[in-house]
Amino acid sequence: MQQVNLGIIGGGTVGSGVYEALQHNGSLLASRIGAKVVVHRIAVRDPKKKRAAQIPRSLLTTDWREVVFDPQVQLVAELIGGTTTAREVILAALKSGKPVVTANKALLSAHGEELFAAARKYGANLHYEASVCGGIPIIKSLREGFVGNRINALYGIVNGTCNFILSRMKLQGVDFAAAVAEAQRMGYAETPPDLDVDGHDAAHKIGILASLAHGFWINPKKIYTEGIRHVTPLDMKLAGQLGYTIKLLGIIKKPAHGSCVQVTVYPALVPNGHVMASVNDAYNAVLVRGDVVGDTLFYGQGAGKDATASAVLSDVADAALDLKFANKHRVPPFVPHECDSSVAPIAGVFSEYFVRLDVLDKPGVLARITSVFARNNIGISHVLQPRGREGEIIPLVLMLHRAPNGAVTRALKQIADQPLLKGKPVMFRVENFQ
């Protein structure tokens, strides 16, 4: 049986997980692909550090170059994260003609075009299934399974940390800070948790998926990104009374006519009857709508040692098969095909809306607010106003008909300038998956 020597850059959670998984299932993998994958060398920062996996000291080095440029290493897995050294590692490996496996969504988001161009130039492939929703094979599905479909829409709960936090806020009634603290205790959230809770991690992933779905590389600066810091237990409760759950959604939509694609990340109200509303804790889910296949749902662990290691092994197997059959580009990493498209500005994106206003309970307040929306051509479908005493501050909730984001933002600014409002308006978009 042919042997493929794997070099791993990074011996942390993911790197150790990949090594451990190969020890457990290496013979199974070999029987399925007809090639034995052997870990030849691993680059780590500290060889003396205690690791979950028992890695022989003889495999370790502190210099990634000793892995990448080792003539016996045929395949490189970059598992260190970041966008500086990781970029250098991948470019060096590709330039050496060696295929690379990476789980680095931040690097792909920032430098994907450069890395894919290097893969083409040097005749080496770049595999990145583990970069988005670890245990869910969504990259391979978009590149291969749905190759005959136009992707009309994609909705993703792609950040397990945020989903865990929002689940705790809904199911236990805790506030944002308490939910974040619990996520940190359980190892789901970093300290500080900004990359997750401010939506940036989700934006990295949704940008990669949008690029694959629509054939042009998405500039991460063009992705409208909103986090979950402003979600409160009150909003969760009020949304529940209206039949909704709040989820952080990555959304990719392309209208039937026009070349602009919506690529956004923001917390949205999801109908309780929809399957996405029942995705709780640290799980991920991605709903893909193809023009031929219809709706397809992917669900599973999105992060963590084992889920990510599983995705890395999938790519390692593909790369090993390419090496076995001397076919370096069986499935190219990215094929541009709709280069005339662009990302739609958020002001022009249409949605329905949930708006909460803390107002003084007195006659004429509701009429003044509705008149502002009317002047901006925004219709109101439902009003939820808890009973209070005159002069008391109460939450007023309005559900708005479908309207452009720019018009709603303008109307809320006009309302915020009025003395009847106490505090800033709170607005969430509503996603009915239509």
Q: What is the pTM of this model?
A: 0.95
pLDDT at 354: 98
pLDDT at 56: 95
95 is catalytic: no
- Is there a contact between 303 and 282 (Cβ–Cβ < 8 Å)? yes
Instruction: Enter the tokens of residue 122.
Output: 């040097």
- The residue from 205, 247, 253, 305 that is catalytic is 205
List pLDDT tens digits, range 57-104: 999 999 999 999 999 999 999 999 999 999 999 999 999 999 999 999
* H or E segment to which residue 26 belongs: helix 13-33
Instruction: Enter the tokens of residue 367.
Output: 């009429």
- Is there a contact between 260 and 348 (Cβ–Cβ < 8 Å)? yes
At residue 350's C-alpha, the angle toward residues 344 and 356, to 5°, is 125
Strands 75-78, 100-102: parallel, antiparallel or unpaired by DSSP?
Answer: parallel
**Backbone Cα Rg of the chain:** 24
Residue ranges of the chain with pLDDT lower than 50?
none
CA dist., res. 205 & res. 22, Å (int): 26
- Is there a contact between 44 and 10 (Cβ–Cβ < 8 Å)? yes
* H or E segment to which residue 67 belongs: helix 65-68
Q: Which one, of 307, 46, 269, 291, lies nearest residue 152 by Cα? A: 291
* H or E segment to which residue 39 belongs: strand 35-43
Cβ neighbours, 10 Å, residue 365? 18
pLDDT at 419: 86
Q: Enumerate the H helices of 160-241 as residue ranges.
A: 160-172, 176-185, 194-197, 200-214, 233-241
φ and ψ at residue 315, rounded to 5 degrees = -70, -40
CA dist., res. 431 & res. 275, Å (int): 13
pLDDT at 379: 98
Domains of the chain in sequence order? 2-134+305-324 (3.40.50.720), 140-302 (3.30.360.10), 346-430 (3.30.70.260)
- Is there a contact between 132 and 298 (Cβ–Cβ < 8 Å)? no
pLDDT at 187: 87
pLDDT at 338: 78
pLDDT at 328: 60
pLDDT at 30: 98
pLDDT at 330: 67
At residue 339's C-alpha, the angle toward residues 333 and 345, to 5°, is 110
